[in-house]
């Protein structure tokens, strides 16, 4: 990007109704002509307020159309256009932070959903095993599962060292759990 000083200028309307300025651009110090008949289009920042001796910053683009040479001044590109997320302190970083927060919230919600569904399912299965599917018995087992959910994998061995020592009673009730825990 370069800085220019506007020399002479003339406001025009194209045959298609678009507003433009035909300007002489001087160097940054305003002492030497860089280009003449440069088109500055109405999308240029502060287009309506541009006047002689104003300093503008932009990129000169030359387009050759047969024997005609068209020169336009385009404003500097903003930091959020072009390479998406290249401006790490801007929009891309904020977008990534929002995405991370959404993923974290989703994971927390997922864990709670699994805990709710699994504790109910486990409680019903235990109540069926005891042949007592009353709401009180299901809630008893659900409370027990809920309160013991956050066990560490080091709290219990995955398999007893001597499986033959585990004896379950014939009813399959909670007494079997007590017998297992005494090992």
All structural domains of the chain with their residue ranges: 2-74
Task: Give backbone dihedrals phi and psi of 39, rounded to 5 degrees, phi first.
Answer: -85, 130
For residue 85, the model assigns a pLDDT of 47
Does 97 score more than 60 pLDDT?
yes
Taking each helix axis from N to C terminus, what angle separates 91-129 and 135-147, rounded to the nearest 10 degrees? Answer: 130
Is residue 57 a contact partner of residue 76, using CB atoms and an 8 Å limit? yes
pTM of the model: 0.43
Q: For residue range 126-140, list pLDDT tens digits in order.
A: 999 999 999 999 999
Fold of 2-74: OB fold (Dihydrolipoamide Acetyltransferase, E2P) (2.40.50)
Between the two ends of the chain, the Cα-to-Cα distance in Å is 79
**Residue that is written with structure tokens 């801007």 in the block:** 90
Cα 100 to Cα 104: distance, rounded to the nearest angstrom = 6
């Amino acid at each position: 990007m370069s800085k220019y000083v506007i020399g002479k200028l003339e406001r025009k309307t194209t045959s298609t109704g678009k507003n433009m300025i035909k300007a002489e651009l001087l160097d940054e110090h305003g002492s030497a002509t860089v280009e003449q008949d440069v088109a500055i289009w109405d999308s240029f920042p502060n287009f309506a307020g541009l006047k002689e001796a104003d300093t503008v910053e932009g990129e000169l683009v030359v387009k050759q159309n047969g024997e005609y040479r068209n020169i336009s001044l385009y404003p500097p590109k903003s930091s959020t256009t072009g390479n998406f997320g290249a401006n790490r302190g801007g929009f891309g970083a904020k977008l990534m932070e929002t995405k991370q927060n959404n993923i974290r919230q989703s994971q927390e919600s997922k864990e709670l959903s699994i805990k709710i569904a699994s504790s109910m399912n486990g409680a019903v299965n235990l109540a069926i095993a005891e042949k007592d599917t009353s709401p009180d018995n299901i809630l008893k087992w659900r409370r027990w599962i809920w309160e013991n959910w956050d066990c560490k994998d080091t709290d219990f061995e995955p398999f007893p060292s001597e499986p033959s020592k585990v004896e379950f009673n014939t009813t399959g009730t909670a007494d079997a759990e007590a017998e297992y825990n005494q090992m």
